Amino acid sequence: MSFEKQRLRMVEEQILRRGVRDPRVIEAMKTVPRHLFVEEALRGRAYDDCPLPIGEQQTISQPYMVAMMTEALALHGLERVLEVGTGSGYQTAVLAQLARRVYSIDRIDTFVSRVRKLLEELGIHNVEIKVGDGTLGWRAKAPFEAILVSAGSPEVPAPLVEQLTREGRLVIPVGERDAQVVRRIRLGPDG
């Protein structure tokens, strides 16, 4: 089966059946070639319903988690989004389909280099990536209408909340490693 057919099946069986409904998120998941964001040896499993290793003891997130967390951001297309944890760059590429500008931070420089190159090859030009501590955010580019944290944290880092716009949204897995819940924090009109 071709990668395109696998991708469409992934959307049908893993994304739509689990309740993701935002048509823009669904279209992005149908469009972004997930198999290019995993090692060549794992490309045959790229659209499986599971995370896959990407090196440095990190993983590319399960497709459903990418879709669900992206939908929770409620993007309309004009937002400036901060992504904490670039990783493979797959989530970055999905966000780039849905936002005006994406700023992404990862602490692993080899990931940042690889993702920059891949996004360039894919013609994705609305992303800026840097190496750094994502829990500190990216003050020089703040404020952000939306922040997505791909890696779990025991608590919500205060600098991220401080870098949201007055009505910004933050989506983050919170809790201990084996008992995390995805939280969506939305600031009100008064910040």
pLDDT digits (tens, 9 = 90+) for 31-46: 999 999 999 999 999 9
pLDDT per position as a tens digit, 95-131 = 999 999 999 999 999 999 999 999 999 999 999 999 9
Please count the helices (runs of H) and the strands (runs of E) in the chain. 6, 8
Residue 22 lies in a domain: yes
Count of the separate structural domains present in the chain:
1
For residue 1, pLDDT beyond 90 = no
pLDDT per position as a tens digit, 11-20 = 999 999 999 9
Task: Point out the least confidently predicted range of 10-14, 84-88, 95-99, 187-191.
Answer: 187-191
Residue 25 lies in a domain: yes
Task: Give the model's pLDDT for residue 152.
Answer: 82
Looking up residue 62, the CATH number of its domain turns out to be: 3.40.50.150
User: Which residues are paired to 52 by β-bridges?
Assistant: 60
Task: Give the model's pLDDT for residue 191.
Answer: 54
- Cβ contacts of 154 within 8 Å, gap of 6 or more: 174, 175, 176
Residue 191 lies in a domain: no
Which structural domain range is residue 162 located in? 3-186
Read out DSSP for 95-152?
HHHHSSEEEEEES-HHHHHHHHHHHHHTT--SEEEEES-GGG--GGG--EEEEEE-S-
Structure tokens at 39: 């090692």
Question: So which residues are the catalytic ones?
Answer: 61
What is the rounded average pLDDT for all residues in the chain?
95
